[in-house]
Amino acid sequence: MGEHEGREQQGEPRFSGGSVDVWDLARLRRTLRGKVALRGLSRLLDGLPAQPDREVDWQLAGETDSLGRRHLTLRAHAVVTLECQRCLGPLDLPLDVENRLQLVETEAELETEEQVDDDPDAPDCVAGSAHFDALSLVEDELILALPYVPKHEVCPSLPKPLEAAEDNDTGRPSPFAVLAELKKD
């Protein structure tokens, strides 16, 4: 498949690097799937080390709830190479994103929703369009998934920490033993 190509399965809409009508996607409860070359997401890669040839798998599912509100559920998976901030070595980090977004009609409605939204469990809102740029949304969500300080759980290039001696008794009296004796007086 091409750099920005999706696939059509069982009546799912086709996507070929352009735009998608998210209103139809939600109304028809369709799912759009695709792959994009990681190197094609320039905002995501800005400031990151050189990346091997990899792809981002993504899926955008539309739905309309019982109140008539339209939603998108985005899922994306990518592996990016970052620089570990402990050992400064390469770190291949899997990014798995899943986010449910409520579609609103206009940018003005989007701003109103953000001001009124007091529920932390409420979905984020995004302005819908008949010419919605799905890849920009995928890239935005992957950028938000990047860690602030990337690091290995255990850095492979750092020396192992010294083990604390189990028996600290070296046969010498502690210099603080004298203080303990003075305190008794």
Which residue in 42, 33, 43 sits closest to 1, CA to CA?
Answer: 33
> What confidence score (pLDDT) does residue 123 get?
81
> What confidence score (pLDDT) does residue 117 get?
58
> What confidence score (pLDDT) does residue 1 get?
42
> What confidence score (pLDDT) does residue 178 get?
76
pLDDT by residue for the chain (185 residues), tens digit each? Answer: 444 444 444 455 555 556 899 999 999 999 999 999 999 999 999 989 999 999 999 999 999 999 889 999 999 999 999 999 989 999 999 999 999 999 988 777 767 665 555 667 778 888 888 889 999 999 999 999 999 999 998 888 777 765 555 555 566 777 787 777 777 76
For residue 166, tell me if it sits in a domain. Answer: no
For residue 184, tell me if it sits in a domain. Answer: no
* Cα separation, 124 vs 72, whole angstroms: 10
Exposure string over 33-55, b if 16+ CB within 10 A, otherwise e:
bbbbebeebeebbeeeeebeeeb
For residue 182, tell me if it sits in a domain. Answer: no
> What confidence score (pLDDT) does residue 55 get?
95
Range of the domain at 107: 4-159
For residue 165, tell me if it sits in a domain. Answer: no
What global pTM score does this model have? 0.73
* Cα separation, 133 vs 169, whole angstroms: 68
For residue 185, tell me if it sits in a domain. Answer: no
122 Cβ contact partners less than 8 Å away, ≥ 6 residues apart: 102
For residue 36, tell me if it sits in a domain. Answer: yes
Count of domains forming the chain: 1
